[in-house]
Amino acid sequence: MNGGLNIFKLVAEASLPVQLVMLLLLVFSFLSWVIIIRKYGQLKTAHDNAETFEDRFWSGADLAALFREVGNREGQHGIENVFEAGFREFARQRQRRVTDANRVMEGSERAMRVAGTREIGKLEQNLEFLANVGSISPYIGLFGTVWGIMNSFIGISKSQTTNLAVVAPGIAEALLATAIGLVAAIPAVIIYNHFARLTKGYLELVSRSSGAAARLLSRDLDRSQGAVHARAAE
């Protein structure tokens, strides 16, 4: 590329502030893609496990048997943990012979809410970083742009000429800083929004399944208490 502008040569010959800007943006971009790849796998696993659990849950399986199945499985995820927490609290209250049905169900529902919040927190972890990269990267790139253009004007002042050869390197490094800022920001913003929608959908799925589990537990509780009252009446 004789006589042209080589990107690597341009970066190597850029002023130190612009080099630091480019380096920072490249680090942001690299970390964003690491998070994106890991988060994609995490969200896919969570949704796949949720669908599998829902199929098992709505198959008419006994809740106690489902609880034992989930508890004995290694590496349970997401909605399984929510169900396990709710049923465990439900069983604990029953073992303590708590007779107030509302108290039993409140404890179970509270346990599922806490577990659900914890699971959603895991999925949302590091998403804020993507949002921040998408928000600030263009401005960091703009700083490099301004600095590069400023150097071009300084070059014009020193050389007393507007020859393109004098201003081109500064303009080129300025535009390169802008480009790297956009390369870091655009994927981060797009994928953050996509992940946010997936996380919201998963939250709705967890809420729906938790509500269904609570209704089934309440039904079982009513049946057991009805049987107790029937025996007492005899």
Question: CB-hemisphere CA count at 13 Å for 192?
Answer: 18
Q: What distance in Å separates the CA atoms of residue 224 and residue 218, rounded to the nearest whole number? A: 10
Digit-coded pLDDT (tens) for 54-75:
777 777 667 777 777 776 665 5
What percent of the chain lies above the pLDDT cut of 90? 21
The tokens describing 139, both together, are 């401005």
pTM: 0.75
Measured CA distances, 166 to 15, 154, 158 (Å): 15, 10, 10
Q: What is the largest CA-CA distance in the chain?
A: 109
Q: What distance in Å separates the CA atoms of residue 179 and residue 22, rounded to the nearest whole number? A: 10
Digit-coded pLDDT (tens) for 168-227:
777 888 888 899 999 999 999 999 999 999 888 888 888 887 877 777 777 766 665 544
Q: What distance in Å separates the CA atoms of residue 198 and residue 82, rounded to the nearest whole number? A: 18
First to last CA, the chain: 99
For residues 29-50, give the mean pLDDT. Answer: 90
Q: What distance in Å separates the CA atoms of residue 124 and residue 16, rounded to the nearest whole number? A: 36
Write the DSSP assignment of 88-123 as a string of letters.
HHHHHHHHTT---HHHHHHHHHHHHHHHHHHHHHHH
Q: What distance in Å separates the CA atoms of residue 192 and residue 131, rounded to the nearest whole number? A: 6
The Cβ of residue 93 has, within 10 Å, a number of other Cβ atoms equal to 21
pLDDT number for residue 136? 94
In the three-class reduction of DSSP (H, G, I as helix; E, B as strand; rest coil), residue 212 is classed as helix
Digit-coded pLDDT (tens) for 119-163:
888 888 889 999 999 999 999 999 988 888 887 777 777 766 666
Burial class (CB in 10 A: 0-12, 13-18, 19+), 3: exposed
The tokens describing 188, both together, are 């981060």
